């Protein structure tokens, strides 16, 4: 994520750095008390830019990171408490929607839900609408959703992000097989597979595959199962959807939201879109 070709992280960090004042003003006026709920917060690098600004300007808010991984949430919470001792933080470990329902039962503060890092790009368009509708069902009227979307652009720029010259993405993708060997005692020979990324400009989707370079049988003792691969057979490993501003508006409207404002990086490679619940 730190390599220069993987522009997504740098673009979103730039948006937070350039527009933190405008973003904060959109979240709430100075008299408001609200909750920032971050879904899948990771290391919180970008969020810290906004939190620092809010604290410096005496804005009253509580930060609630939610993740299924206890380790991720605890590491993030420790980092945040160390950097911002005055921060009100309440970590939640579990399913996004269950945790949101739990928060709503005892806390009626206005909520801003963060879903950053273009994580929405891992869903198909249909799955995205379903996800947003599920979120809308556990949000209150007036709550806001702040989402990172990777925009359509020159396909060669997108391809370099998923097929970098350093080989990092290849190693990342083939690591799936390494983990199967390590954690499930499988017998994948990594040299018999190759990383194969593509970008489909009609679907506006970057996809990654692992291709079997030979006929081979794999045994996974933990499952007591064998799997046969034909030569050039593909394993579909991931997708990263890219978006237009028009598609983002349609996604919002299809799931009971309205686009309040879009915040762009200087190259307009990426957008953080602020939505408000309409029902």
**How confident is the model over 81-122, as pLDDT tens digits?**
999 999 999 998 988 888 888 888 877 888 999 999 899 999
Count, residues in the chain = 279
pLDDT of residue 215: 97
The secondary element (H helix, E strand) that includes residue 257 is strand 257-264
Span 140-165, average pLDDT:
93
Alpha-helical runs (H) found in the chain: 7-27, 45-56, 70-83, 96-106, 125-137, 155-162, 168-184, 245-254
Q: Check: pTM over 0.75? Answer yes or no.
A: yes
Bridge partners, residue 113, by sequence: 37, 145
Give which of 254, 277, 279, 270 is closest to 112, Cα–Cα.
277
End-to-end CA distance of the chain: 37
- The CA R_g of the chain, rounded to the nearest whole Å, is 21
Residue 22: DSSP 8-state: H
Task: Give CA–CA dist 222/108, Å, rounded.
Answer: 46
Tally of CB atoms within 10 A around 224: 7
Span 223-240, average pLDDT:
96
The secondary element (H helix, E strand) that includes residue 255 is none
pLDDT of residue 250: 97
Q: Starting from the edge strand earliest in sequence, which strands make up the sheet with 111-115, in order?
A: 92-93, 60-67, 33-39, 111-115, 144-150, 270-277, 257-264
Tally of CB atoms within 10 A around 58: 7
Span 57-85, average pLDDT:
90
**113-135: pLDDT as tens digits:** 999 989 999 999 999 999 999 99
* List of domains in the chain: 7-152+242-277 (3.40.50.150), 166-241 (no CATH)
**176-221: pLDDT as tens digits:** 999 999 999 999 999 999 999 999 999 999 999 999 999 999 999 9
Percent of the chain with pLDDT over 90: 73
263, pLDDT greater than 90 = yes
Integer angstrom CA distances of residue 80 from 51, 85, 114, 265: 9, 8, 16, 25
DSSP reduced 3-state for 6: coil
CA 128 centroid distance within chain:
12
Give which of 38, 67, 66, 68 is closest to 50, Cα–Cα.
38
**25-55: pLDDT as tens digits:** 998 865 588 999 999 877 778 899 999 999 9
pLDDT of residue 174: 97
DSSP reduced 3-state for 42: coil
CA angle 279, 119, 61 (to 5 degrees): 60
144, pLDDT greater than 90 = yes
Give which of 206, 221, 241 is closest to 125, Cα–Cα.
241
Mean pLDDT is lowest, of 106-120, 234-248, 255-269, for 106-120
Task: Give CA–CA dist 142/278, Å, rounded.
Answer: 7
User: What is the residue-averaged pLDDT of the chain?
Assistant: 92
Percent of the chain with pLDDT over 70: 99
pLDDT of residue 31: 58
pLDDT of residue 244: 97
pLDDT of residue 30: 55
Task: Give CA–CA dist 141/105, Å, rounded.
Answer: 15
């Amino acid at each position: 994520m730190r390599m220069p070709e993987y522009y997504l992280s740098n673009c979103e960090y730039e948006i937070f750095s350039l527009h933190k004042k405008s973003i904060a003003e959109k979240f709430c006026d100075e008299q408001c008390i609200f909750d920032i709920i971050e879904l899948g917060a990771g290391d919180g690098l970008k969020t810290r830019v906004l939190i620092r600004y809010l604290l410096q300007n005496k804005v009253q808010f509580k930060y609630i990171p939610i993740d299924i991984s206890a380790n991720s949430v605890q590491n993030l919470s420790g980092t945040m408490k160390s950097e911002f001792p005055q921060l009100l933080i309440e970590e939640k470990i579990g399913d996004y929607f269950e945790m949101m329902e739990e928060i709503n039962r005892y806390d009626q503060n206005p909520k801003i839900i963060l879903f950053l890092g273009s994580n929405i790009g891992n869903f198909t368009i249909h799955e995205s609408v379903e996800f947003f509708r599920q979120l809308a069902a556990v949000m209150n009227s007036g709550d806001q959703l702040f989402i990172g979307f990777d925009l359509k652009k020159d396909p060669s720029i997108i391809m370099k992000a998923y097929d970098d010259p350093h080989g990092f993405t290849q190693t990342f993708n083939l690591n799936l097989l390494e983990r199967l060997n390590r954690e499930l005692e499988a017998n994948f020979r990594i040299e018999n597979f190759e990383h194969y990324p593509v970008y489909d400009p009609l679907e506006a989707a970057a996809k990654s595959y692992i291709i079997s370079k030979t006929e081979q049988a794999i045994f996974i003792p933990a499952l007591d199962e064998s799997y046969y691969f034909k030569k050039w057979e593909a394993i579909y490993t991931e997708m990263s959807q890219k978006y237009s501003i028009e598609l983002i508006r349609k996604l919002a409207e299809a799931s009971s939201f309205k686009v309040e404002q879009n915040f762009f990086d200087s190259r307009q490679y990426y957008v953080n879109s602020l939505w408000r619940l309409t029902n």
